[in-house]
Structures are given as structure tokens and as C-alpha cells.
Amino acid sequence: MRSHYSALQKSLHWLHAFLILSLIPLGLIMTRMGEGALTNLFYDGHKSLGILAFGVAVVRLAVRAVQGAPPYEQELHPVVQVLAKMGHGALYGLVVLTPLAGYAATSICCKPVTLFGLFPVPWEVTGSESLMKLLFLWHETAAIVLAVLVGGHIGMALYHRFRAKDGVFERMF
């Protein structure tokens, strides 16, 4: 049985990490900027990177369904294994739900939603202003929870690499 993720899984993980770690500060910055062309550019970039991140999440889930995941290291306590599964499950759920909520809200208020200004994304959502506001609230709340979980994920990875030295960190390299 393999002890590491496949090269494809590793590549998708790091691409996804780059996108998410770009989206979080971009989202925080753009919502605090005043009106203007630069703000619009930040919003367009955030939306486009979010669409890409959603696509990568879907591909990652499909690859994981086909290839599976390597088993946990035997030294890991069963409680730690359960917590890791819960954390990964929450991360996977949020990397799908966060961009969906943002996209749906944006589609209601700001048609068309485009990918890097090149072409419109065909999925159109309609709804009221109150639904749009609720979806933006869900998007923002999910993004905050996702950022906290990503921070915890990074912290645990560094713990396994430098403190526990148990091989968990190396599974994704």
C-alpha cells in the first residue's frame, strides 16, 4: 500500500493551496478599497481565481474518489486520525461551498460573471436582493472559517514536519 499521495494529487493540492492563499488576502483587501478601476480589477481577479479554485476542488475530489488516499501513519493515535478526517472533510466542503455561494451571489447582482474578462461563465443564478445578501454573508462566513481551517492545516503540517517528525508531512511532497 502506498504511503504518499500520487504526483497528480500533490500537484492539485499545491495549485489549490496557491489559489486559496491568494484568494483570502485578495478578498480582504478588495472589500476595504474605495470605488475605482483598481478595486474592480481586484474583484474581477478574485471572482476568476475563485472559479478556478472551485474547478480544482472538483477535480481533486474526482481524483481522490478514483485514487483514494494513503492510509494514516500507524503511529498516529486513533483520535488524531478522526480529527484529521474531520478537518479534511471540513476543508473539502468549504472549498466547494465558499466559491459556490460567492458565485451565486455575484451572478444575482453583477451579470455576467466572466473568467478573467475573457468569456462569461454560463451558469446564471437569479434571485432577490435579500437572497444575494444572504449568499454574500454565507460566502464571507465560509471564507473566514476556511481561512481559520487553512491556518490550522498549515500549523498541523508544520507540527508533523518539525516536532512529531512522523512522516505525515512528507506524504504531500
The answer to whether position 85 is within a domain reads yes
The CATH number of residue 153's host domain is 1.20.950.20
The answer to whether position 149 is within a domain reads yes
The answer to whether position 146 is within a domain reads yes
Q: What is the DSSP letter of 1?
A: -
The answer to whether position 2 is within a domain reads no
Q: Give the cell for residue 19.
A: 489559489
Reported as a single tens digit per residue, the pLDDT across 13-70 is: 999 999 999 999 999 999 999 999 999 999 999 999 999 999 999 999 999 999 999 9
Helix, strand and coil percent figures for the chain, each rounded to 5:
75, 0, 25
Q: Global pTM?
A: 0.93
Q: Which domain holds residue 71?
A: 7-172
Reference 49, options 23, 88, 75, 87; nearest CA is 23
The structural domain count of the chain equals 1
Reported as a single tens digit per residue, the pLDDT across 112-153 is: 889 998 999 988 999 999 999 999 999 999 999 999 999 999
